[in-house]
Amino acid sequence: MSFTPDIQIFCCHYTSQQAIAEGADGLKEDGLPAGATINRLPCSGKLRVSTLLKAFEDGADGVCVVGCPADKCHNVTGSQRAAHRVLAVKKALAELGVEEERIEMHHLERGFHPEFIDAAVAMNERVMGFGPSPFKDEETPAEKAPKKAAKKPAKKATTKAGKKPAKKGGKKK
Amino acid sequence: MIIAERKPVDEIVEMVADAKRVLVLGCRGCVSVCSAGGEREVEILASLLRLGCKKKGQKIETIEATMVRQCDKEYIEAIDQWNGQYDAIVSMACGVGVNFIANLRPNDIVYPGVNTGCFGGSAEQGVWTEQCAGCGNCVLHLTGGLCPVARCAKSLMNGPCGGSQNGECEINKDVPCIWQAIHDRLTRTGRRADLDKVAPIRDWSSAGHGGPRKVVRDDLTV
């Protein structure tokens, strides 16, 4: 099947150094898949299960979480916590009958390295094999177009990740 | 606290198959402490319900809210604020909360979002263990504070069975023999003589075998 997978990458301040230094064009040159969006966090331990699920709700075909090596996290156990949350989402995807490999945790050294791009490429190829996410709206291309145009890169999801939880009095979705 | 665990998502998606608008209702009591049905878990379940229904081609809207408790009439009445906005409620409180909603809101459809397990405590981060059976006739003063009703696989009242080996229960090597622990503790605290008392045949009527239990405090009723 030919489609451009929507890959959401959540990475910490340290593992995203390459992304910051090279910018969008540099990353593209390095081979970052066209549909990949980088969402920066202060620490991968900041990620919540609901943020990862929201990525799928918002149309992600695959999600990569990149944190420091388990024993070298700047915040001691942040990347270990992130790994546990990724496992929780894997379990939930399996319960819903969806490929749990659509989300993956990576522990990478900080700084510049090809593994960062490799992680996104591997997820892109994997998702190409699976096909589009079964959670995607079956909208017509005309309906989809304005939504895509309004979609902001990186920063938008970074804000989402740090969003406050449910308001008092209930929130409607 | 009451220990609970979220039900499998597919089970809950199946429950709400006929509902287009679901109120996912958490509780800030026990289930919040054991990370089964608090505010965070409400957010997760609501998201999973939307994803699960979307995958099945069903449209669903969710309202997410968390009550202080679901085991008091006053809090259940607060559900009125969403009247007309939901077709069904998924309560993430323990079974008490689900029952209270069913008792007090006769026309509402309510489903359980969690499986209620036991009375227990947090042994370590992410691990909860049963400590009390709520049997209604506490014998902890005789057993060094360790409960043989909840923590002995056979709820024995007069010492260990033959399956106790090296302080472990025969049902699982990870389960300590609570009677061994009781013996060790009473010996350590100089109260081993407490074990000489023979516990009489137990009256289990206070444990629910005499029907649903009720506590009435005349000093508090109005």
Domains belonging to chain B, first-starting first, are: 2-118 (3.40.50), 133-200 (no CATH)
CATH of residue A19: 3.40.50
In a domain, A12, yes or no: yes
Residues B7-59 have pLDDT tens digits of 999 999 999 999 999 999 999 999 999 999 999 999 999 999 999 999 999 99
Residues spanned by the domain of A17:
7-132
Q: What is the pTM of this model?
A: 0.87
Nearest chain B CA: its distance from A67 CA (Å): 21
Per-residue pLDDT at B197: 85
A22 falls within a domain: yes
Within 8 A of B46 by CB-CB distance, chain A residues are: 173
Chain B residues contacting A, CB < 8 Å?
Answer: 8-10, 13, 23, 39-40, 42-44, 46-48, 50-52, 54-55, 57, 61-66, 81-82, 85
- Confirm whether A159 is domain-assigned: no
Residue A141 lies in a domain: no
Mean pLDDT of A98-109: 95
Would A27 be classed as within a structural domain? yes
CA distance B78 to chain A (A): 10
Neighbours of A9 (CB within 10 A): 28
Whether B10 and A57 lie within 8 Å, measured CB to CB: no
CB contact under 8 A, B47 and A137: no
Least confident of A119-128, A129-138, B137-146, B179-188: A129-138
Rounded to two decimals, the ipTM of the complex is: 0.86
pLDDT at A138: 62
The answer to the question of residue A168 being in a domain is no
Nearest-by-Cβ selection for A172 from B13, B55, B61 = B61
Give the CA dihedral A171, B35, B59, A103, nearest 10 degrees.
110
Dig out the tokens for B4 from the structure. 């609970």
Q: Does residue A125 lie within any of the structural domains? A: yes
Q: List helix spans (H) across chain A.
A: 17-30, 49-57, 78-95, 114-130, 141-150, 155-161
In this complex, is the C-beta atom of A77 within 8 Å of any C-beta atom belonging to chain B? no
Question: What's the total number of domains in chain A?
Answer: 1
pLDDT of residue B82 exceeding 80, the answer is yes
Q: What is the pLDDT of residue B71?
A: 96
Q: How far apart are CA A31 and CA A17, in angstroms?
A: 16
**pLDDT > 70 in chain B, percent:** 100
* pLDDT at residue number A18: 72
Q: What is the pLDDT of residue B166?
A: 94
Measured distance CA(B34)–CA(B37) in Å, rounded: 8
**Residue A37 resides in a domain:** yes
- In chain A, the percentage of residues whose pLDDT exceeds 70 is 77
